[in-house]
Structure 1
Amino acid sequence: MSSRGLWADVALRAAWARQDWAAILREYRRAAGMSQRQLEPLVGMPQPHISAIESGRRQVTSAEVRARITEGLRVPPELTMVPARPDLDDWAPPTELRERIAHGHATGRTDLRTADWIGEVLAQHRRAEDEIGGRDLWPVVRSQLDTVTRLIPGTTGPAADRLLLLAAEHAHWLSWVAAQQDRKGVALAWIDLAHGWAVDGGHTDMASWVHRVRSYYSLQHGDPIRALRTAEAARLTAGTSPAAASAAAHQAAKAAAAVSERKRAQRLADQALELALQVPDEGDRPGWLYWLNPTRAMLQHADTAYACRDWQTAAAGIRDALPALTGYPRDHAYYQARLEDAARRV
Structure 2
Amino acid sequence: MDREPAPGPWSHPQLLAALGGQDWGAVLRTYRKLTGLSQTKVGELVGLAQSDVSDIERGRRQVTSSEVRARLVGGLGAPDQRRDGARAHGAAPVVGLALSGPGPDEDLLARVASVVDSRSRVDADTLDWLDRLLAEHRRAEDVLGSRPLVGVMRQQLRTVVDMYASARGPLADRVVRLASEHAQFLAWMAQDQDQTAAALAWYDRSHEWALEAGDADMAATTLNMKAHQAWSKGRATRCVRLAEAARWSCPGTSLGVRGMATQMAARGHALKGEADEAHRLLDEAQAIMSRAAEHPEDEPPWMYFYSPNWFTLQRGMATLHLHDWSAAVDQLTAGLSAMPDEYRRDKAWFRTCLAHALAGAGETGQALAVATAVVPDAAAVGRPHSWNELHTTAAVLTRRSPARGRQLVAALRDFD
Give the TM-score taking structure 2 as reference length. Answer: 0.59
1:271 to 1:131, Cα distance in 2 relative to 1, 3 A: same
Report Cα offsets for 1:294-319 as digits up to 9, x if no partner: 22122212222222222232222222
What's the secondary structure of 2:292's corresponding residue?
Answer: coil
Displacement after TM superposition at 1:205 (Å): 0.7
Q: Distance in 2 between matches of 1:153 and 1:130?
A: 33
How many positions carry a matched residue from both structures? 273
User: 1:297 matched to which residue of 2?
Assistant: 311
Would the aligned equivalents of 1:13 and 1:140 in 2 still touch at CA under 8 Å? no
Cα contact 1:246–1:276 (8 A) shared by 2: yes
2:269 matches 1:253: no
Superposed, 1:188-203 pairs within 5 Å as: 188-203=200-215
Structure 2 distance, partners of 1:273, 1:305, is: 14
- The answer as to 2:356 corresponding to 1:341 is yes
Question: How large is the Cα RMSD of the aligned pairs?
Answer: 3.3
Q: 1:117 to 1:257 in 2, by over 3 A?
A: same
Matches within 5 A, 1:208-219: 208-219=220-231
Matched, 1:163 2:178: no
Give the deviation of 1:12 after TM superposition: 5.9
C-alpha deviation, 1:332, in angstroms: 2.0
Are the equivalent residues in 1 in contact too, given 2:17–2:148 (CA < 8 A)?
yes
1:99 aligned residue: none
8 Å CA contact 2:147–2:189 kept in 1: the answer is: yes
CA contact (8 A) 1:212 1:248 kept: yes
- The 1-side partners of 2:283 and 2:187 are apart by 29
Name the structure 2 match of 1:272.
285
- Within the alignment, does 1:112 sit opposite 2:128 as a pair? no
Q: Partner of 1:121 in structure 2?
A: 133
Change (3 A) 1:195 1:12: farther
Please list every run of 5 or more consecutive structure 2 residues that lacks an aligned counterpart in the other structure: 1-10, 20-26, 35-75, 99-119, 362-416
Distance of 2:227 and 2:17 partners within structure 1: 31
5+ residue gaps, structure 1: 1-10, 28-58, 83-107
Asked if 1:310 corresponds to 2:320, the answer is no
Deviation, structure 1 residue 249: 0.9
- Asked if 2 retains the 8 angstrom alpha-carbon contact of 1:265 and 1:308, the reply is no
Q: Find the aligned partners of 1:146 and 1:184 in 2 and give their Cα distance.
A: 22
Matched letter for residue 256 of structure 1: H
- Compared CA separation, residues 138 and 62, structure 1 to 2 (3 A): closer
Give the whole-Å Cα distance in 2 for the aligned partners of 1:131 and 1:336. 15
What does residue 239 of structure 1 align with? 252
Change in CA separation of 1:189 and 1:61 when aligned onto 2, cut-off 3 Å: closer
Does residue 204 (structure 1) correspond to residue 220 (structure 2)? The answer is: no
- Cα distance in structure 1, aligned partners of 2:354 and 2:79: 54
Deviation by residue 1:253-274 (Cα, 9 ceiling, x = unmatched) = 1111122222111111112222
* Deviation of 1:189 (Å): 0.9
2:50 paired residue number: none
Identity %: 33
Partner of 1:325: 339
Amino acid at match of 1:252: A
Q: Distance in 2 between matches of 1:13 and 1:136?
A: 10
Q: Tell whether 2:302 aligns with 1:288.
A: yes
Paired letter, 1:18: A
Separation of aligned partners in 2, 1:61 and 1:187: 30
> Is the 1:256–1:262 Cα contact (8 Å) retained in structure 2?
yes
Question: Amino acid of the residue matched to residue 329 of structure 1?
Answer: R
Letter in 2 for 1:276: M
1:159 Cα deviation after fit: 1.9
Paired residues of 1:218 and 1:227 also in contact (CA < 8 A): yes
Q: For 1:77 and 1:343, locate their aligned partners in 2 and report how far apart those are by CA, in whole Å.
A: 49
Q: Which residue of 1 aligns with 2:93?
A: 77
Measure how far apart 1:156 and its partner are.
Answer: 3.7
Are 1:14 and 1:132, in contact at CA under 8 Å, matched by a contact in 2?
A: no
